[in-house]
Chains A and B, each alone.
Chain A
Amino acid sequence: MQVPAPFEYERATTVEHAIALRERLGEEARFIAGGHSLLPMMKLRLANPEYLIDINDLTELFYISEESDEIRIGAMTRHRELLDSELLAQYFPIFRDAEKVIADPVVRNRGTLGGSLCQADPSEDLSAVCNALDASCVIKSTTGERIVSMSDFHVGPYETAVGPAEMLTEIRFPLKANAGSAYEKVERRAGDWAVVSAGAAVWMDGDRIAGGRVGLAAVGPNTTLIGPVSEALDNVVPSEELYQLVGDIAAANCSPQTDQRGTEAYKTHLAMELTRRSLRRAVARAQGQEA
């Protein structure tokens, strides 16, 4: 049994309480949500927080709600809720694609959307999903709240824009008409981190793609939105040639490293291949050709 270093434990009862605890306990305190990244790191003594602030009682952060122009998801919403949600499946099928291949049911029962984003692992699937969907993050502190786009949220590997006395509370997803989205992942084994994964979202104007975004995971120091892809998807007619072009752009704009999951060349190839595939499916879904 791997055992963590000594730590103190506090259990927050409300968001305000959690933020107050964080403010009081300072840099050495960590929120614990699902704990499926933090606890293994603590057991391996890669993370040695002095305090854990347990936020699993914050039921106010467990929700998926539909507003007029966006979907709002509470930061403590579990993977399993994201997988099961018919509302998300209707607007953002990319969620169900991704959740099916995230870890395993035991992890999905505990892990949360907010925890995944705050962990900021460059291989994190939901970060790629949120990038593709142009999500924004609501960050609260004792003095108020601020809203940060996904591209500003992740500032580096395992680093986010959330400050020491702040908390990610909600993630917002803009609703767009005639939209489609999809997620593709290659893993060495079920439940493994991605070798590479790609999420694509498009919105259509008649037969043309009005716009689109692609987010990749495990292809560089951070989960990335591929900016030039958005330019290539601005008001274009979908075609195999376009998917290939966008795939090539994705491959050219990522910087994977050789490791045990694969070589740089293979990962670069996957960035192309999975971008192509996710884009093709996203368009088909937007056109109502795939349920």
Chain B
Amino acid sequence: MTTTEAPPEQERPIGFGRLLRKEDPRLIRGMGNFVDDIQLPGMLHLAILRSPMAHARIVSIDTSAAQAHPKVVAVITGADLAEQGLAWMPTLSNDTQAVLATDKVRFQHQEVAFVVAEDRYSARDALELIVVDYERLDPVIDVRTALNPDTPVIRDDLEGKTDNHIFDWETGDEAATAEVFNNADVVVSEEIIYPRVHPAPMETCGCVADVERVSGKLTLWCTTQAPHAHRTVYALVAGLPEHKIRIIAPDIGGGFGNKVPIYPGYVCAIVASLVIGKPVKWVEDRTENLVSTGFARDYIMKAEIAATKEGKILAVRSDVLADHGAFNGVAAPVKYPAGFFGVFTGSYDLEAAHAKMTAVYTNKAPGGVAYACSFRITEAVYMVERLVDCLAYELEMDPVELRLKNLLKPEQFPYTTKTGWVYDSGNYEPTMRKAMEIAGYEELRREQAEKRERGELMGIGVSFFTEAVGAGPRKDMDILGLGMADGCELRIHPTGKAVVRLSVKSQGQGHETTFAQIVAEEIGIPPEDIEVLEGDTDNTPFGLGTYGSRSTPVSGAAAALVTRKVRDKAQIIASGMLEVSVADLEWNKGSFSVKGDPSKSVTIQEIAMRAHGAGDLPEGIEGGLEAQICYNPSNLTYPFGAYICVVDIDPGTAVVKVRRFIAVDDCGTQINPMIIEGQVHGGLTDGVGMALMQMISFDEDGNCLAGSLMDYLIPTALETPDWETDSTVTPSPHHPIGAKGIGESATVGSPPAIVNAVVDALKPYGVRHADMPLTPSRVWEAMQGNHTPPI
């Protein structure tokens, strides 16, 4: 395993390098402050009654017995909210979603009513006292039949809606792609499914809402990855003045996209506090989190790849059926209803590409959040990397050789794909070669050949992925009209300590360390002297939040640039202190000195004191040493990586063991390699979960079968090998420090490597494709020639 030891004290970097995380002493000692740790005087507790049915008309709701419970303060139904015009709210995709159902329920566990009580137990007990009379309707569960003419219409709340269609989307040139396919030597087609999965953060979603009666100001402690975006949405939706809303995201126990949307529970808590005049806490239980909050994926991808018989890949196309559940809650920039699925051309030089997609409603929980996927890149990368392996199978070529033959060349960057994405920088082959070298690729193939002779099943899987992160340029990208640029403010205190304020919000990624290191690198103040503040809309500048691996590409750039702005001012003050012109000063990471005379210098700390102290400053310079900027990225950044997975499969039981996993990532300039490795370890583990064991599945009545962590499995250390991580460094040309972001690379890149390895192991059985999750049963069925799609 890669070493993750911290350097000794005297080698602590003032800037980039290995540094223990500043937030960890608090978190590992149990001294964090999470939403459920918040206790306010007089605080009440809210619990939500959920529908037992997937599709049913609400005939009546009787809340009288619940109201009579001695500890119950209020019972609210959809009808009550409708009177206030609050029964419906917008989703992140400009659809509407019921806060509480008024007319009918559209997925199992949909919110129907809520109880506010003096304690959590009483609130939960009172739910049992609410009597709802439902009239069952036929549910739409099989996404493949959702558009059939005789299928019930789920969204009859939408005016004029006569089917379950949400949108059609396409990208690329259909005719040109067809032309290439028609003339290609080899065409390989496969239906590739990325099943519905769930981010399942350790901390579930929740909030404490507190509306002050006199000022009318709402303070909402909330599990949100995007506090500023949430504030504005509440202002626009609920009509609360924005300056009267303060969102505080305290410590967050994992997000992975699950904490991007605004959930009905938050709105219910706000309404309750508004009506009752006391603080109200709502925290989901585990089941509620799994069955009702933002899921991810759920794509059925009919995919095709065209190539010459020598293995030159010519074109890729796909036709996708997307299951968005009962409300379109996809979290993606508005102009990108399919997220960034358009990067499905992968890391290859193609002649043509085309994709089309149809998204539909079903009676399942809404979502489509970016679960560590950079807006649907997980699906895109999985599809193309599976396709390339299917092509290798048909051509009887080594999958690495096939990839090496087709990877983009360094001189092609910046490279515009056939679907219009501009890859900023890349040097792919050395990354692939490095992974092969660490793996001992040739030797592994030799071992595999020997084992196949003996009937043993060993598989080697490869993936090469290109990510697109750091959304994004405001000319193209917005969420509900909010541009995706990030503010940042830096203040240097008189004694040379600093505070940097950001709009993003860590859910465990180590922002308090990474951003301190970026500022430190630029201004030479040690990271431990720099406080990182985020997650409080009253005390941080506006920005769109943390998801899609955007914190370092967007806010990291903002942090670097704001620090340079402060440094520029410091240089002018230094020129006054040293009585030389600005041009005669040189920067030595922490001090300015006179060119040619290093003995004449002032430290940044001395400059800070001068900036706040007595005495004259150079003409036109105000006191203080601080700055604020808003960074608008000119392009996305495109991290990439080469992953190799080795699996052994027990031929008798079909149990898959991941023996080795080699991950070589290129995320451009590295700020803290230890944090990067940690992010990669987590993402790879996630990949094992998705590839081998996870799926949010439903029975034919729409009952969710994944309502606990006994049913929806999270991998443990025993299912994961010692990760072998390494890296190459290809800086982003447009990012101020060349960093590209790493948060989601491993989740994007690992599922195809693992699935490719399993399918490779099953080659003696003539298996070319098998869908996730590759549980022992599904692997065994594939070995019998009975592979069935999971949906």
From A3, A44, A261, A273, B652 is in contact (CB under 8 Å) with: A273
Residues on the A chain within 8 Å of B287, using CB: 2, 44
- Asked whether, in the complex, the Cβ of A262 is within 8 Å of the Cβ of B653, the reply is no
From A2, A3, A195, B776 is in contact (CB under 8 Å) with: A195
* In the complex, per-residue mask of A244-262: 1 if CB is within 8 Å of any chain B CB, else 0: 0000000000000000111
8 Å CB contacts to B: which residues of A36-94? 40, 44-45
Q: Is A240 an interface residue (CB 8 A)?
A: no
Residues on the A chain within 8 Å of B128, using CB: 5, 45
- Nearest CB of chain A from residue B60's CB, rounded to whole Å: 23
Q: Is A265 an interface residue (CB 8 A)?
A: yes
From A3, A44, A195, B708 is in contact (CB under 8 Å) with: A44
Residues on the A chain within 8 Å of B285, using CB: 1-3
From B697, B710, B718, B775, A262 is in contact (CB under 8 Å) with: B775
List the B residue with the shortest CB-CB distance to A261. B777
* In the complex, per-residue mask of B695-728: 1 if CB is within 8 Å of any chain A CB, else 0: 0010000000100101101011011000000000
Assuming A186-B653, A273-B653, is B775 touching A2 (CB within 8 A)? no
Q: Which of B118-126, B212-220, B291-299 contacts the other chain?
A: B118-126
Residues on the A chain within 8 Å of B693, using CB: 188-189
Q: Is A269 an interface residue (CB 8 A)?
A: yes
Residues on the B chain within 8 Å of A265, using CB: 781, 784, 786
Q: Is A191 an interface residue (CB 8 A)?
A: yes
- Asked whether, in the complex, the Cβ of B120 is within 8 Å of the Cβ of A270, the reply is no
Q: Is B286 an interface residue (CB 8 A)?
A: yes
- Asked whether, in the complex, the Cβ of B777 is within 8 Å of the Cβ of A3, the reply is no
Which bracket fits the contact residues of A? 20 to 34
From B121, B653, B655, B786, A3 is in contact (CB under 8 Å) with: B121
Residues on the A chain within 8 Å of B716, using CB: 104, 189-191
Residues on the B chain within 8 Å of A145, using CB: none
Residues on the B chain within 8 Å of A191, using CB: 716
Residues on the B chain within 8 Å of A269, using CB: 780
Query: How many angstroms from the CA of A190 to the CA of B655 in the assembled complex?
Result: 12
List the A residue with the shortest CB-CB distance to B288. A2
* In the complex, per-residue mask of A162-192: 1 if CB is within 8 Å of any chain B CB, else 0: 0000000000000000000000001011111
Query: How many angstroms from the CA of A266 to the CA of B782 in the assembled complex?
Result: 11
- Asked whether, in the complex, the Cβ of B713 is within 8 Å of the Cβ of A192, the reply is yes
- Asked whether, in the complex, the Cβ of A6 is within 8 Å of the Cβ of B125, the reply is yes
Residues on the A chain within 8 Å of B786, using CB: 265
With an 8 Å Cβ cutoff, the count of chain B residues facing the other chain is 33
8 Å CB contacts to B: which residues of A186-235? 186, 188-193, 195
Q: Is B274 an interface residue (CB 8 A)?
A: no
* In the complex, per-residue mask of B104-126: 1 if CB is within 8 Å of any chain A CB, else 0: 00000000000000001100110
Assuming A2-B285, A44-B287, is B652 touching A262 (CB within 8 A)? no
- Asked whether, in the complex, the Cβ of A277 is within 8 Å of the Cβ of B652, the reply is yes
List the A residue with the shortest CB-CB distance to B688. A189
Query: How many angstroms from the CA of A6 to the CA of B283 in the assembled complex?
Result: 20
Query: How many angstroms from the CA of A265 to the CA of B655 in the assembled complex?
Result: 15
Residues on the A chain within 8 Å of B652, using CB: 273, 277
Residues on the B chain within 8 Å of A13, using CB: none
List the B residue with the shortest CB-CB distance to A269. B780
- Asked whether, in the complex, the Cβ of B121 is within 8 Å of the Cβ of A189, the reply is no
- Asked whether, in the complex, the Cβ of B777 is within 8 Å of the Cβ of A266, the reply is yes
- Asked whether, in the complex, the Cβ of B653 is within 8 Å of the Cβ of A270, the reply is yes
* In the complex, per-residue mask of B648-667: 1 if CB is within 8 Å of any chain A CB, else 0: 00001111000000000000
List the A residue with the shortest CB-CB distance to B707. A44
Query: How many angstroms from the CA of A6 to the CA of B705 in the assembled complex?
Result: 27
- Nearest CB of chain B from residue A191's CB, rounded to whole Å: 7
* In the complex, per-residue mask of B284-315: 1 if CB is within 8 Å of any chain A CB, else 0: 01110000000000000000000000000000
Assuming A2-B287, A265-B781, is B121 touching A188 (CB within 8 A)? no
List the B residue with the shortest CB-CB distance to A184. B653
- Asked whether, in the complex, the Cβ of B777 is within 8 Å of the Cβ of A195, the reply is yes
Instruction: Write the residues of chain B forming the contact surface with A, with a CB cutoff of 8 angstroms.
Output: 36, 120-121, 124-125, 128, 283, 285-287, 652-655, 692-693, 697, 705, 708, 710-711, 713, 715-716, 718-719, 775-777, 780-781, 784, 786
Instruction: Write the residues of chain A forming the contact surface with B, with a CB cutoff of 8 angstroms.
Output: 1-3, 5-6, 40, 44-45, 104, 186, 188-193, 195, 260-263, 265-267, 269-270, 273-274, 277
6 chain-A/chain-B pairs, Cβ below 8 angstroms: A2-B287, A3-B121, A188-B713, A195-B776, A269-B780, A273-B653
Apart from A3-B285, A266-B776, A270-B653: 13 A-B pairs, beta carbons within 8 A: A3-B121, A6-B121, A44-B708, A188-B692, A188-B693, A188-B775, A190-B719, A195-B776, A260-B705, A262-B776, A265-B784, A267-B777, A269-B780
